[in-house]
Structures are given as C-alpha cells and as structure tokens.
Amino acid sequence: MTLEIEATGQACGARIRGVDLTRPLAAELVAGIRAAWLEHHVLVFPDQPIDDDDLERVTRYFGPFGDDPFLAPIAGRRHVAAIRRDADETTPIFAEAWHTDWSFQATPPAGTCLRSVVLPPRGGDTLFANQHAALDAMPADLRARLEGLQAIHSARLPYAPTGAYGDADQARGRSMDIRPSEAALAEQRHPLLRAHPETGRPGIFGAIGYIVGLEGLDDADAIPLLKELLAWQTRDAFVYRHVWEPDMLVMWDNRSVLHAATGGYEGHARLLHRTTIGER
Ligand code: SIN
C-alpha cells in the first residue's frame, strides 16, 4: 500500500489514505505517517472501522500513552476516555474552549487520537488552529510583547472542584466521567513562544484557559494580553474545521495546534474515544 496524503487546503490538516489501521503497520509506514503528522499537524483517516484495541495499537506507534488526569477511562481500558454527550444532555459542550491537551503538565502530551463511535447527523465539528502559522503571521508589535514570556498553566478553571467541570457541573448530570480534584490547583510554567520539540519550528504554545497568567505580569496586564493573543491565535485564517464521518480517526499534534469542540447537535448523541500520545 502507498500512503496517500491530501492536504485539507485549510490552515492545517491532511486526509490519509493507503493505510489499513485495523492491521499492524510496518515501521516504514509509521515513519511516513509521522512525517505527515509533523508537516500537517492534524491527520484524518477516513474509512477506518477500528475498535479500541486498534486505537491503542495505533497510539503506541507514535509514543507512550500520555497520562490522562481528571477523565476516567472507559470500563476495561486504562488509556481510552469517552468524549460523550447524550441526546438529552443540557450541560455545556465539553472542551468548547480553545486549548491544547493537558498543557498544565510538566511534559504535556505530544498528541491526541480521537475516533468516531456515535455521530450526530450534523454539528459537533472539531476546530484546529495552527499555532505555527499564527506566530509566523503575527504583527511585530504583538510578538514583541510576548517574546520571552513564561506562561503559567493550570487545570484549575475546568477541573478544580469549584471549576467549570467541578461539583456543580457533576450535579447537572454530565454523562462524561470527569473527576474534578484539588490536584487541578497545581501550576506549571512553559514558554509562551517556543520551538516545537521535534521539528524546531517556532509556535505559540497554549491558550488562556489552561494558561492562567504570565510570569512577572499582574493579572490586570496578563489577562487582557492573553485574550488579545487568543483572538489572534484563532483567526479564521489559521483554522481547520474538521467535519466528522463514521469510522474516522483523527490524530493531532498538541505541540502545533489548539483545538476546540463545537455544539450544534442538540437532541442527538455524540461519542468519540480518545487516547493521548506522550512525548517519546
Ligand atoms: C477534545 O478536546 O478532546 C474533544 C474534541 C471534540 O469533542 O471535538
């Protein structure tokens, strides 16, 4: 089989054909997929009727499993989480704020894999924003205000007991198995502008939300700057809108893109199974 790589024509992303993810992959093919992943940042594999064994095997081609705090794995698996919303659910859409996965960790995960299980008839797209393109095109005056800054990351706004997915949210009847905890109060610093650990390409790492402040700046200065930055990071010019199909796997590079879930499927269920790829 020959790997076929077709760029989406949007700010990032490519569709990959010529590979059967239900079967073991040769090292050469994995290397080709990894190269495409580093170039396009989001890979979309259509027509792949994979199960969770396949999802775990494919994940492991690209690194160790990442550590997933605050989300309980599905029954019988240690590394697969369900991104779930029931048809009658009225809780806020999970992960609708722009973010890069678990950026509050000391070594955040390299990537994430998400496979479609149940899809609504419309809506529920996932947005990806290319953070290399956003930095490349950034006006010099904004960039000058960001150079050298260390961002303070924390999971406290979503996952602390008082957070968006905390005790009050649990009481609303969210179907996802989220485990808020005081551990979410921890902080971790990462450079706001940094080289991609594998390609060296400069980019913006993280977004307000998991980023709760900037070292050396008062919140009165940091928060407006982070909001201004988010507006730049997520301009349409840098965004790929991913529309899900049955039997589809998507694998993205958390070091290169922000992502965000979207709604628009009220009255319908949506279920995806997710793994994270740790740094090698
Ligand atoms: C996620 O951030 O892992 C979920 C994305 C989605 O539901 O589209």
Can you say whether the dihedral through the CA atoms of 115, 117, 120, 122 is positive or negative?
A: positive
Atom of ligand 1 nearest to the CA of 259: 2
pLDDT in tens, the chain (280 residues): 789 999 999 999 999 999 999 999 999 999 999 999 999 999 999 999 999 999 999 999 999 999 999 999 999 999 999 999 999 999 999 999 999 999 999 999 999 999 999 999 999 999 999 999 999 999 999 999 999 999 999 999 999 999 999 999 988 989 999 999 999 999 999 999 999 999 999 999 999 999 999 999 999 999 999 999 999 999 999 999 999 999 999 999 999 999 999 999 999 999 999 999 999 9
Q: What is the DSSP letter of 277?
A: E
Query: At 53, which amino acid appears?
Result: D
Q: Which atom of ligand 1 is nearest to the CA of 93?
A: 7
Nearest-CA residue for atom 2 of ligand 1: 95
Pocket test for ligand 1, best of 262, 270, 274 (most atoms within 8 A of CB): 274
* Strand ranges of the sheet holding 126-130, from the earlier edge strand across to the other edge: 239-242, 126-130, 257-261
- pLDDT at position 170 is 86
Using CA atoms, how far apart are residues 10 and 242, in angstroms rounded to an integer? 10
- Whether ligand 1 lies within 6 angstroms of the CB of 259 is answered as yes
Residue 150, beta-bridge partner list: 191
Q: Which helix (H) or strand (E) holds 132?
A: helix 131-136
The separation between the first and the last C-alpha atoms of the chain, rounded to the nearest angstrom, is 27
The position carrying tokens 């690209």 is 62
Residue of 59, 80, 83 to test ligand 1 pocket, by largest number of atoms within 8 Å of CB: 83
Q: Which residues pair with 63 in a beta bridge?
A: none
What residue's CA is closest to ligand 1, atom 6? 261
Q: List the 187-191 sheet strands across, edge first.
A: 187-191, 150-154, 211-214
Angstrom CA distances, 61 to 29, 31, 36, 69, 278, stand at: 10, 9, 14, 22, 11
Helix (H, G, I), strand (E, B) or coil at 178: strand
Q: How far is the CA of 114 from the centre of ligand 1 (A)?
A: 8
CATH 3.60.130.10 is held by the domain 66-243+254-277: yes
- How far apart are alpha carbons 213 and 56 in whole angstroms? 35
Beta-sheet strands, E only, within 92-208: 111-118, 126-130, 150-154, 187-191, 193-195, 202-204
Q: Encoding tokens for residue 99? A: 């973010």
The tokens for 185 are 């109060």
Q: Where are the chain's structural domains? A: 66-243+254-277
Is the CB of residue 273 below 6 angstroms from any atom belonging to ligand 1? no
- Atom index in ligand 1 nearest the CA of residue 101 equals 2
CA distance 116 to 110: 21
The finding on whether 276 has its CB within 6 A of some atom of ligand 1 is no
Is residue 83 within 6 Å of ligand 1 at its C-beta?
yes
Distance between CA atoms of residues 138 and 132, nearest Å:
10
Distance between Cα 244 and ligand 1 center (Å): 11
C-beta 117 within 6 A of ligand 1? no
